[in-house]
Amino acid sequence: MFCKTDSYYHISISFGFSQSSSGEINNMKIFMNRSEAGKILAAKLSTYAKRSDVMILALPRGGVPVAYEIAKALSVPLDVLIVRKLGVPGFEELAMGAIVMGGTMVFNDEIVHQLNIPKEAIDRVIQSEQEELKRREINYRGDRPLPKLTDKTVILVDDGIATGATMRAAIQALRQYKPLNIIIAVPVAGLETCEEMEPLVDKMVCALKPQYFHAVGEWYQDFSQTSDTEVHELLKKNK
């Protein structure tokens, strides 16, 4: 439930989970870190190993360590598709939308309308995130274009899905390149979100689908931020 005051947003949500000291939530084992999560996903994607028609695209930064382990295990190439979440002003972790390199933009109309976010505030967020997206595009890709994706099976990888805005934007942007298949591979996403996302792609692989889901980071023992340096190193190691 969302309610807005004059100065900030309150978000009131009831959760039905409890985390134990043994690294489990409601008897579901959480991941040690993003690398472990990637190895678990790789086992679920083994049928795509050593195929010349398969390409893995990670959503940086957090999706890169996950995707690296998948690409290494499957012996397939890895690249990045840069997407930026458009966070709600005052509560930036909550996505009201997302933008992708190339200009594709997707909004979560329900959140925008429920919180009555003014257009001026949305425009400020868009401008800020466009600048960061451009910085990352130059930083991670330079002037290197995306590899050929037409008629490829593309596996989109992130470290988890919360609202789904970022992944929806990535899917929409990816379709313009006419891939043969689009597969989502994530370690964790809420059950309801998974059910909403599955019709949008050819296949969805998700290791954990908790009924009660608050934030991606709660399903990792180590969810420390992935640095630009780590992204560079992992992309370089995959070449």
CB 148 within 8 A of CB 78: no
Distance CA 119, CA 87 (A): 14
Q: Does pTM top 0.85 for this prediction?
A: no
Q: Which of 49, 95, 93, 42 is nearest to 70 (CA)?
A: 42
Lowest mean pLDDT among 6-10, 120-124, 185-189: 6-10
Q: Which of 184, 172, 168 is nearest to 111 (CA)?
A: 168
The neighbouring-strand residues paired with 143 are none
User: Which positions ≥6 away from 13 have C-beta within 8 Å?
Assistant: 1, 214
Residue, of 14 and 171, whose pLDDT is higher: 171
Distance CA 57, CA 82 (A): 9
pLDDT at 11 over 50: no
pLDDT at 229 over 90: yes
pLDDT at 32 over 60: yes
Residue, of 62 and 6, whose pLDDT is higher: 62
Distance CA 187, CA 185 (A): 7
Both structure tokens of 13:
């949500």
pLDDT in tens, 53-100: 999 999 999 999 999 999 999 999 999 999 888 999 998 878 898 898
Percent of the chain with pLDDT over 90: 67
For 183, the 3-state DSSP assignment is strand
Work out the average pLDDT over 155-184. Answer: 93
Strands (E), 33-108: 54-58, 78-80, 83-88, 91-100, 105-107
pLDDT in tens, 110-142: 899 999 999 999 999 999 999 999 999 999 888
